[in-house]
Amino acid sequence: MNETYAKLKTRLAVAFDLGAIGRRGIPGLLFWDQQTMMPPGGTRVRAEQLATLSRVANDFFVSSETERLLEEVRPYEESLDYESDEASLIRVARQDFEKASRVPADLRADMSRASSHGLEAWTRAKASSDFETFLPALERNIELRHRYIECFDPADEPYDILLDDFERGMKTAQVRTIFERLKEEQVPLIAEIGERDDPSLDAVVNGDYPVDAQRAICHEVVELFGYRPGTWRLDPTVHPFASGPSIDDIRITTHYAEGNLASLFATMHEYGHGIYEHGVDPAYERTPLGGGVSLGLHESQSRMWENLVGRSLPFWRFFYPRLQAAFPSQLASVDVETFYRAANRVHPSLIRIHADEATYNLHIILRFELEQDIFNGRVELRELPEIWNARMHEYLGVDVPDNAHGVLQDMHWGGGHIGYFSTYALGNVISLQIWERVLSDITDLHEQFERGEFEALKEWLRDRLHRHGRKFTPAETLEKVVGGPIDAGPYLRYLREKHGAAAAV
């Protein structure tokens, strides 16, 4: 091994460790602890701990020593094949370095501190449905993101800088074009489906579902989908998320509520995130290549396991008897086809994470548009609840009863994760591009689901997508998996076939 490359790799391993403790592609260890285990009184000091860690990690990574090694390794890099692991590690490390070196360490620390305080403020504000309680933290996060944008060369749109943090290389204009097509086709489709809506199905998935039984069934479905023994855990939290400090330390969360089975689908969703991190080539552990390549690709995996697997009729033909056994008084008289229709009911609703697969994208488009309005100075932050409520009525025809069910429902703005939301809908789109390829390669996939077998799907995804980690750009990765760029066509076709007029019975 080239000596300079070995020294660079050793240094990058330390940088990776610091990021895994704090925050990297997905939430790190201290974030997981803050959202699951830490007593609320620890927030103030945890914010300072994360700020210190952010500053130390940034200083270490963007140091003159890292810069020197990246420069000295160029001759070796030029001798390597573009797709080799060594060339990819150097290339990705240099891209990360060039971006990180533009942001002062103090600003990084301020953003980390504000994120911790913002999440705590959001938790309190949501509990009391009081936007004014959250407003100062939101103002601080927006101010810091403006300063962050100023660290970079002018982009076509300011929002490009924020989007690039989560979907490297993607431009706001590209997302807007995709979303305009989604809105154009999904709004009339949702209206068409609404004419056939059966409100009685609501009582199937909403009712008296004890949390202890939910917890057991959520653990059971994660065990069924599969992972390497001794490497995962599932915990409760306010807002579900996944964390992966390492390939063999995967921590997913869900939220339990007595009145519905949303925890089950949230668990499937977070499993998709976790299995992506779990499937990265172990050779990339503690390197810049470790972890998912983008949040759009990441979300494609969570939406795939939640919707394309977890809401499919073949899956429920296998798993429904287990669910009935867990909730006999609630489901004994409900047949599997009725439960399947209830789990796939299309009905505009208030809460994004509980939204059905046909209306979900409109929740995302609303947030995407609001974030652009914020950074282009078209809205005042104090006006957000009013604007939010008006657009929810316009896009989905629902009336927001309070801020907890409206502008305060998501944790992202509290944590300063602005530019993130669009990746959810991009993930929906990508999931169907990948799914079409899966079905063409594994022709008996649905029969396997009916037998409770998921290994072939996991192996296909690991081989085609997961193992690559961050080795290639998001666009290159998608090209390798599906043979082309992002395309909304398969997703819209899937919705029409599953929920459109042809699916009416």
Return the H-helix or E-strand segment holding 497: helix 489-499
388-401 confidence digits (pLDDT tens): 999 999 999 999 99
What is the identity of the amino acid at 236? Answer: P
pLDDT at 54 over 90: no
From CA 44, how far away is CA 42, in angstroms rounded?
6
How many structural domains comprise the chain? 1
Adjacent-strand bridge partners of 251: 233, 243
163-203 confidence digits (pLDDT tens): 999 999 999 999 999 999 999 999 899 988 888 889 999 89
Are residues 302 and 436 in contact, defined by beta-carbon separation less than 8 angstroms? no
Adjacent-strand bridge partners of 235: 253
Q: Which two tokens stand for residue 199?
A: 């409100």
Q: Which two tokens stand for residue 80?
A: 């390597």
* Window from 20-29, 214-223, 353-362 with minimum mean pLDDT: 20-29
Q: What pLDDT does residue 23 have?
A: 61
Task: Let me know if residue 228 belongs to a domain.
Answer: no
Domain limits for position 153: 3-158
What is the identity of the amino acid at 22? Answer: G
Q: What pLDDT does residue 505 have?
A: 32
pLDDT at 257 over 60: yes
Torsion over CA: 85, 87, 90, 91 (sign): negative
DSSP string, 72-117: HTHHHHHTS-TTSHHHHHHHHHHHHHHHHTTS-HHHHHHHHHHHHH
Q: What pLDDT does residue 504 have?
A: 36
pLDDT band at 267 (very low <50, low <70, confident <90, very high): very high
Task: Let me know if residue 501 belongs to a domain.
Answer: no
pLDDT at 462 over 90: yes
Which is higher by pLDDT, 1 or 427? 427
Task: Let me know if residue 358 belongs to a domain.
Answer: no
Fill in the DSSP letter of residue 171. Answer: -
| Average pLDDT score over residue span 297-307 | 97
From CA 431, how far away is CA 442, in angstroms rounded?
16
pLDDT band at 26 (very low <50, low <70, confident <90, very high): low
Is 453 an annotated catalytic residue? Answer: no
Task: Let me know if residue 368 belongs to a domain.
Answer: no
pLDDT at 216 over 60: yes
Which is higher by pLDDT, 154 or 56? 56
* Window from 38-52, 357-371, 470-484 with minimum mean pLDDT: 38-52
Task: Let me know if residue 174 belongs to a domain.
Answer: no
Q: Please identify which residue in the block is written with the tokens 């420069």.
A: 71
pLDDT at 501 over 70: no
Task: Let me know if residue 33 belongs to a domain.
Answer: yes
Task: Let me know if residue 229 belongs to a domain.
Answer: no
Task: Let me know if residue 267 belongs to a domain.
Answer: no
**Radius of gyration for the alpha carbons in the chain, expressed in angstroms and rounded:** 22
315-348 confidence digits (pLDDT tens): 999 999 999 999 999 999 999 999 999 999 999 9
C-alpha separations of 315 from 80, 221, 306, 312, 340 in Å: 45, 11, 11, 5, 10
Catalytic one of 120, 270, 357, 369: 270
From CA 243, how far away is CA 28, in angstroms rounded?
6
